[in-house]
Structure 1
């Protein structure tokens, strides 16, 4: 009687990976957010991996957790006093870019993740972290040999800067 959603799903004969997309993330309440913060470390370690498939997956997951408001980073970073976890999250995302030799799939996921961070209503980033996100997108735009990634980085920069200036203007009012 006390089966989890996953156990019920498995016992109903669903085993194929394609069925995973039918899962919806639970609505974000404070307990889910706290839980998501706890699970940042595995994503951070995956981003430090040299295997581009692992990095792409980790960045994609981080992007989705941020987009759905499950990972806000709005708590102190346990590793650095006077910093928020979101600063470490952005640094982790940006550190996946290592110049022109960075895997093209990784470049694209970095762009997507950074755009989500800057445009999300669930996340607040300031000063140096905003600058790092913008600089990383700009560096991908300059260094990428892939035309799609260049175009995406350029469009993302435009969108980011529009959002940043809109927020600044709204704060000035």
Structure 2
């Protein structure tokens, strides 16, 4: 066993994080990233004495890593956040790989909305999608789908919308055809996951995998670069198969607010690609799972109605974004069942909005 494989101490989380922190230290530019290197070394030292039950208390239900106290969990995840937030590809890449393992193995859990170390990590991951590195783009898509797929994590409200926006930006702004197909496939798979859970009102659901070839049946065939479809299908299958962990129980999810009105401005990349100003307004829809599902549906409807400006009447990127939104709405409706009939007033209003716009 190599030295890097033995790093991380006795905890399961440590065995995943330790080798990654070692790689981040080796890849960091020491003068520029001295704070990151120091944080990684400090966490490696701490992991050596950290067991799965150390520091935990029965009342500490807010820890994102089961078996560790909130303070210990934050200490373990902080250097990963710093690496993801560095905008330096050589340390972002191992941090993305580590985060993927944490999400897919069920080592991170809880409700993720607008605060906490895991939210900060996801925010940094989304920003990494704009670095212009093709390998990083794929890593970002991989981690974001693994986070949404994990039955241990409930991605909520603004955080869910930000993930979808990031995938839109890779699809609309990327230069690599394979990455664009992967982004579209990830978006379709996210819709399937979210709305299967909406239908069952549960995190513990069997999710159908998307067919990449069917997604390209009518549009985006020009993006296919030889074996792109095969690559992207394997990409989706690998992420979906990797998901482990016990699903969040309803008792672990705090009750929804009666009224929640939040607006989060989109980054500049979203403005340029026509996916700006996702409206994060959500009324009470019962459970948080269903509340966020209807929020996402509403934003997809609004995205499909973006108009070209007088300055750019022939905006091809905007048109592609509108078509993508309609395709994703079809995925949602194909996934939906009785919940759409039970919540008839909510959905019909959106469908009438679409009808009035396009007919």
Question: Is the shorter-chain TM-score for this pair beyond 0.5, marking a shared fold?
Answer: yes
Distance 1:33-1:125 versus aligned 2 partners, 3 A rule: farther
Aligned residue for 2:2? 15
- 2:53 is the alignment partner of 1:66: no
Q: TM-score, normalised by structure 1?
A: 0.73
* More helix per residue: 1
Query: Relative CO higher for 1 or 2, CA cutoff 8 Å, sep ≥ 6?
Result: 1
- 2:67 is the alignment partner of 1:31: yes
Aligned residue for 2:88? 51
Count of residues paired in the alignment? 149
1:155-170 matches, within 5 Å, as 155-170=185-200
Per-residue deviation, 1:122: 1.0
Q: Mind listing any 5+ residue stretches in structure 2 that lack a counterpart?
A: 14-51, 54-65, 202-289, 291-338, 340-359
Per-residue deviation, 1:36: 4.1
Distance 1:33-1:95 versus aligned 2 partners, 3 A rule: farther
1:66-116 deviation per Cα after TM superposition (whole angstroms, max 9, x unaligned): 11121225489xxxxx73443222212111122xx5211111111001001
- 2:115 is the alignment partner of 1:83: yes
Distance in 2 (CA, whole Å) between partners of 1:167 and 1:160 is 11
Contact preservation (8 Å) 1:33, 1:72 = no
Aligned residue for 1:126? 156
- 2:146 is the alignment partner of 1:110: no
RMSD: 2.8
Per-residue deviation, 1:143: 1.0
Aligned residue for 1:97? 129
Distance in 1 (CA, whole Å) between partners of 2:12 and 2:123 is 27
Per-residue deviation, 1:131: 0.7
Q: Mind listing any 5+ residue stretches in structure 1 that lack a counterpart?
A: 1-13, 77-81
Aligned residue for 1:152? 182
Distance in 1 (CA, whole Å) between partners of 2:191 and 2:95 is 25
1:41-84 deviation per Cα after TM superposition (whole angstroms, max 9, x unaligned): 111111122321211111111111111121225489xxxxx734
Distance 1:16-1:138 versus aligned 2 partners, 3 A rule: same
Q: TM-score, normalised by structure 2?
A: 0.37
Distance in 2 (CA, whole Å) between partners of 1:158 and 1:152 is 10
Contact preservation (8 Å) 2:84, 2:92 = yes
- Bigger-Rg structure (1/2): 2
Distance 1:137-1:33 versus aligned 2 partners, 3 A rule: farther
SS in 2 for 1:95: helix
SS in 2 for 1:124: strand
SS in 1 for 2:132: coil
